Amino acid sequence: MSDTTTLAKPRNRRPSWVRRHSPPYWLSLVGGGWMLAFFLIPLVSGLIVSLETGNPLTGYHLTWNWSIYKQLFVHSDIPYTTFFLRSLYYGAATTILSILISYPMAYYIAFKVRDRWKSPLLFLVLLSFFVSFVIRTDMWSFILSNQGIVITALRKLHLVGKNFHILGTSNAVIGGDVYNNLAFMVLPIYVALERIDGRILEAARDLYANGRQVFLKVVLPLSRAGIFAGVLLVFITTVGDPVVSSLLGGVGTYTIGQAIQDSYLTNQQFNVAAALSTALMVVLGIIMFIYAKVFGTQNIENLV
């Protein structure tokens, strides 16, 4: 009897189609769950509440009242459309000014400062975040008041007249928004600039590019990801904010964020507040979708 034994050769099992293609979907569950819990569900809930009718005494009931949107933005005595456009203007102005201020700051920290000083300077950028958003905004109302140090100094220098004021104007609201959101623009731009390989800049100079050409042709395009992320953070945060316009603004600076807050907390018109919130989220979603398509979503992926 032969001692030889035949060993079964292991079969070469290829992973199934599901096993080969499922990992990306499993990995996206965290992000998808986050979007579902904190964006889609609140959006749908707000839409349902906006379609209810009633009052705080008798309660609200779902009647699928789609005409509320037409009533608010077309036939209402309250100019909600004006509040909407004003909020978009404040958001756009704040975003543009934040870019103009933040880019030189981030560029200086990324390229002109020694490594040991970068962390302290970034800490100074974030230092204001150690104080409550409401408190640091309220402090500006004292600084910019008619008896504050800014107006008093300008009057003593005879640079402004006696009737000059800052509080209650659009400039005060935009300035407060820029101050409160500056770090949201500086940090993404800094991260994008910090990732630029210095050898690329040296190669551009070796090809006889001057400083202006190096910045416009190399540095600025490679930092688009930071600008893209900063615009998303600053614009979305500013448009719906009711705090800055309440503390630093006046009657002529009333925004959609204040209208939503007053409708919900003061007037207890929950369907009106939900309708305004839903309309704001839809408009912001459309604007950001168009912006991402034009600017390129791959820019924000470069920061991940």
So where are the chain's domains? 77-301
* pTM of this structure: 0.85
For 8, the 3-state DSSP assignment is: coil
Q: How far apart are CA 300 and CA 233, in angstroms?
A: 12
Please state the rounded mean pLDDT for residues 54-68. 90
Q: Which residue has the tokens 């800055």?
A: 244
Which residues have CB under 8 Å from 178's CB, separation 6+? 94, 97, 98, 101
Q: How far apart are CA 42 and CA 210, in angstroms?
A: 51
* pLDDT, greater one: 149 or 20: 149
Instruction: Render pLDDT for 275-301 as a digit per residue (tens, 0 to 9).
Output: 999 999 999 989 988 888 887 655 555
User: Radius of gyration of the chain from Cα atoms?
Assistant: 27
Q: How far apart are CA 87 and CA 283, in angstroms?
A: 12
DSSP states of 10-41 as a string? PP-PPPPHHHHHSHHHHHHHHHHHHHIIIIIH
pLDDT at 55: 87
65 has a pLDDT exceeding 60: yes
Look at the alpha carbons of 189, 195, 196, 198 in this order and tell me if their dihedral is positive or negative.
positive
For 62, the 3-state DSSP assignment is: strand
Please state the rounded mean pLDDT for residues 226-241. 92
pLDDT at 154: 87
DSSP 61: E
Just give the CATH number of 77-301. Answer: 1.10.3720.10
Q: Which of 17-21, 173-177, 220-224, 283-287 has the lowest mean pLDDT?
A: 17-21
Q: Which of 24-33, 119-128, 188-197 has the lowest mean pLDDT?
A: 24-33
For 59, the 3-state DSSP assignment is: strand
Q: Quick one: how far is CA 281 from the chain centroid?
A: 13
pLDDT confidence band for 11 (50 / 70 / 90): low
* pLDDT, greater one: 11 or 130: 130
171 has a pLDDT exceeding 60: yes
269 has a pLDDT exceeding 60: yes
Distances (CA, A) of 117 to 51, 103, 114, 120, 186: 55, 18, 6, 5, 16
In this structure, which amino acid lies at residue 213?
Answer: Q
pLDDT at 86: 96
7 has a pLDDT exceeding 70: no
pLDDT at 271: 93
Please state the rounded mean pLDDT for residues 191-214. 89
DSSP 249: -
pLDDT at 131: 87
